[in-house]
Amino acid sequence: MTKLELVTSQLVSHLERLSKQAVEIQWITAFAMKSGVKKIIPFLQQAAERGVPIKLLVGDYLFVTQPDALQLLLEELPSAEIRIWKSGGTSFHPKSYLFRGTEASHLVVGSSNLSASALTNGVEWNLVAPTSVDAQIFEEATTQFLKYFYADQTVSLNKETLAEYQTLHREANIQRPISPVWSEAEEVEMTVGPTLPQQSEVAETQVAYNAPISPRPAQQEALEALDNVLAEDYSRAMVVLATGLGKTYLAAFFAEKFKRVLFVAHREEILTQAAQSFRQVHPDRTSSFYNASEKKTDADFIFASIYTLGSQYHLDRFERDAFDLIVVDEFHHAAAPTYERLLNHFEPKFLLGITATPDRMDNKDVYALCDGNVAIMIHFLDAIERNWLAPFNYYGVYDNTDYSAIPWRGTRYDEQKLLQLQLRESFAQKIYDEWNRYKQTRTIVFCSSVKQAVYINNFFQNESVRSNVLHGDSHPQERKTARSKLEAGELEVVFTVDLFNEGVDIPKVDTLLFVRPTESLAVYTQQIGRGLRIAEGKTHCVIIDFIGNYRNADLKLAVFDQKENTEKTNTIEPLVPALCEFNLDLQVINLLEEMRRKRAPRKEVLVHAYHELKKEMGRRPTYLEFHLHANVDSKVVKQEFGSYFGMLAYANELANEEQDVWLAYKSGFLEVEKTAMNKSYKMVVLSYMLSKGTERWLEPVTPEEVAPFFHSYLTEKDYRMNIDLSDVQGKRLRTYDEKKMADLISQMPMTKWSGSDKNDIVSFENGIFKFKLQPSNEEKEYLYNWTQEITEYRLHAYFERKSMLSAIN
């Protein structure tokens, strides 16, 4: 077939034919029924057996998708990647089937969902388009598919998320029963703007650089920190630079040290800006793009979309050592599997992660990407104190909207219910009055939805304010014109829906207005950065923030707080730089104090974070995985539960035999978890013992026996050696000497550990070190595995913390 084909019945036969020819399959459907899944399972299984990567995205809109259909997919297609779109009350209607082939690829778009009727004899229209008609459309479709597939609204289908969906489906059908023969005509349309995260807008560079560009002070500090990281033999690192300090240019300067560079980002605009920055720093080197519209592989610098290069088909076009340096711009939390696939494929000499968002609670995956190694961290508060960014005057204004009545849909509020409360004239009047009281010359307003932005914009225009609305569906020329008018002062206000979160450079913006709940501290930090750039005639930025009883309202102010490095207080208002002001309405202070009193105890917060991560992974995370990926600070686990496995026991996550092991050896686990570690030595000794395997790890050891492993571990990475063999004695031991090394092991970890007042599980007598544990054969494996988890976590967290302190200082 070389032309468009209209299919009005038996679509399943076309899907089967195309599956047999495919080397990659990607489907997105609004819903799935068990009857439809039974039709497609046989030929998808055949494709999976041939090693074809399969991705399926199914919606939960109105909870029409049957749990039995999802369970069948999970059981019969174990190698496929399957995700659920969490609609949150917003309509979700796509029905598209993509097949990449060796000679020709096909895109099927139409009306058929995954039900037996829709795939066979139902009244349906579907167009089958081969790449011979328009290859570019196919590549754009695959890019869009991956953006939806890994969007924030999706979760991986596994036993955990299936169980959750079964419960939600059951509750939804109690409230609104769905007929066994369900018709799509029942769907209720509700258009509130694009459901995907909005496309960011990147401003064109205002100045053409004809002279060589030199690093600015913050970039120079970061480059020196990265030089230290390279000298210490790290193979990956994270750099955290506040918005406005030039993280993309930093990457360009750092690229000087490498021959072939891959720059990966999740937005095309960021790739375009990065390519421009690299060309200005390196005018004599070549660059190209690897994205939906261009796929060149022979340049010094390749700028790739993760939604294109994340495909195994495209990864296979590159050798594993194709790049010396890979730079990863901060990426969406849910897209981590794609990055993991990319990073497992390549073997660069160095991996650099760059981000403007220092808040670990939102950005755990970025840290995990770089093994928790932060080369340097410059928070926007630090940058303000050093006169690299403009100071701010913050005004926290009371929002009387009752957000507690709005259902929470996993990652955000139900958009329909939220709109009902936001589209009120009294609320619009309040927003206008507070803006008029505090505003300066140029304002960006951050809204929840397109409808809210349009509504408030109309209100402002009726008050003779020169304003406009921009969102993801705005034409690029309209965005460019509005941005230019705002810069020139012809516009006073631009209302936006997540459009100006990152990549925008409008230095003259001096007022920010937040009229939406803060759902992500990372996004909130990025948005604040929109107003902190320095510009001629600009003395400070005004931040007007409407604060109500929405989730995280009492946590968001920590973004502004310098107390981390000073004495903690119980006051609501954060400690900000001297040049800044912070003002809260009395009603806001009362509200935040009340929210803090009612906030769930820390134990429950930890357990909730654990369950969320377990759903994401589809299994119980290890201690180290919890540390790297959960949206909480793992050190609180030890404070609240004594041990990670104590938390699992509290959360009823241990099987009966595991519970018995925990109770029998609780003191031992607590000792390994909580023993003091000024250096890594105790855990290195324990690592050696564990290296002997399940059956032998509890055998007694001598310092002489441990010495070779001990020396190898601390010297195989320069950063370990520089951290733990940096004193006078340690420097002498960098060259292996068994006696001196054994003496150190004897004195430091073994004698100190056994002599601790709180220790009752280890002993060191007559040169023999051992754990005083005698597990049964049934207990051995649990004891070994859990001890190994704690040891891996403690070593990782120890070196991470030491590196972090070095990065900040």
Task: Say whether both 108 and 146 belong to one domain.
Answer: yes
Q: What is the CATH number of the domain that holds 373?
A: 3.40.50.300
**321 is a domain residue:** yes
**621 is a domain residue:** no
Q: Which residues contact 385 (CB under 8 A, 6 or more apart)?
A: 577, 578, 579
In what order do the strands lie in the sheet containing 392-398? 467-470, 493-496, 443-446, 511-514, 541-547, 392-398, 581-584
pLDDT > 60? residue 334 = no
Task: Say whether both 662 and 586 belong to one domain.
Answer: no
pLDDT tens figures, 277-330: 999 999 999 999 998 788 888 899 999 988 888 888 899 999 999 999 999 987
Task: Say whether both 337 and 423 belong to one domain.
Answer: no
Specify the DSSP class assigned to residue 88.
Answer: T
Count CB-CB contacts under 10 A for residue 319: 10
What is the total count of domains within the chain?
4
Task: Say whether both 247 and 124 belong to one domain.
Answer: no
Residues in the chain: 809
pLDDT > 80? residue 569 = no
Task: Say whether both 178 and 39 belong to one domain.
Answer: yes
Tally: H helices and E strands in the chain: 33, 24
Amino acid 525: pLDDT: 86
Q: What is the CATH number of the domain that holds 154?
A: 3.30.870.10
- What average pLDDT does range 92-103 have in this prediction? 93
pLDDT > 50? residue 507 = yes
Cβ pair 370, 353 in contact under 8 A: yes
Task: Say whether both 244 and 335 belong to one domain.
Answer: yes
- What average pLDDT does range 75-94 have in this prediction? 89
Task: Say whether both 568 and 489 belong to one domain.
Answer: yes
pLDDT tens figures, 531-544: 999 999 999 999 99
Q: Which residues contact 796 (CB under 8 A, 6 or more apart)?
A: 371, 372, 624, 627
**205 is a domain residue:** no
Burial of 562-593, coded b for 16+ CB within 10 Å and e otherwise, reads eeeeeeeeeebbbbbbeebebebeeebbebbe
Task: Say whether both 372 and 426 belong to one domain.
Answer: no
At 626, list the tokens: 């919890």
Amino acid 730: pLDDT: 84
Task: Say whether both 329 and 243 belong to one domain.
Answer: yes
Closest CA to 397 of 363, 340, 439, 359: 439
Amino acid 598: pLDDT: 78
- What average pLDDT does range 3-21 have in this prediction? 94
**592 is a domain residue:** yes
Strands (E) across 501-616 are located at 511-514, 541-547, 581-584
DSSP 356-381: S---TTT-HHHHHHTTT-EEEEE-HH
DSSP 319-345: -TTS-SEEEEE---GGGHHHHHHHHHH
Closest CA to 787 of 692, 712, 714: 692
pLDDT tens figures, 547-567: 998 877 877 888 888 665 444
**111 is a domain residue:** yes
Place 103 in a pLDDT band, splitting at 50, 70 and 90.
confident
Place 202 in a pLDDT band, splitting at 50, 70 and 90.
very low
Task: Say whether both 309 and 182 belong to one domain.
Answer: no
Distance CA 623, CA 648 (A): 10
Cβ pair 106, 131 in contact under 8 A: yes
Q: Which residues contact 119 (CB under 8 A, 6 or more apart)?
A: 10, 11, 12, 15, 36, 39, 40, 112
Amino acid 132: pLDDT: 84
pLDDT tens figures, 30-41: 999 999 999 999
Cβ pair 606, 632 in contact under 8 A: yes
> What does DSSP say about strands 325-329 and 350-355: parallel, antiparallel, or unpaired?
parallel
Domain that holds residue 147: 5-186
Amino acid 372: pLDDT: 67
**625 is a domain residue:** no
Distance CA 430, CA 399 (A): 9
Task: Say whether both 372 and 420 belong to one domain.
Answer: no
Distance CA 644, CA 669 (A): 9
**483 is a domain residue:** yes
Burial of 595-613, coded b for 16+ CB within 10 Å and e otherwise, reads beeeeeeeeeebbebbebb
Closest CA to 203 of 504, 530, 522: 504
pTM value surpassing 0.75: no
Amino acid 174: pLDDT: 66
- What average pLDDT does range 73-96 have in this prediction? 90
Task: Say whether both 367 and 418 belong to one domain.
Answer: no
Amino acid 206: pLDDT: 40
Tell me what the pLDDT averaged over the chain comes to. 86
pLDDT > 90? residue 499 = no
**671 is a domain residue:** yes
pLDDT > 90? residue 795 = yes
> 138 vs 756, which has greater pLDDT?
138
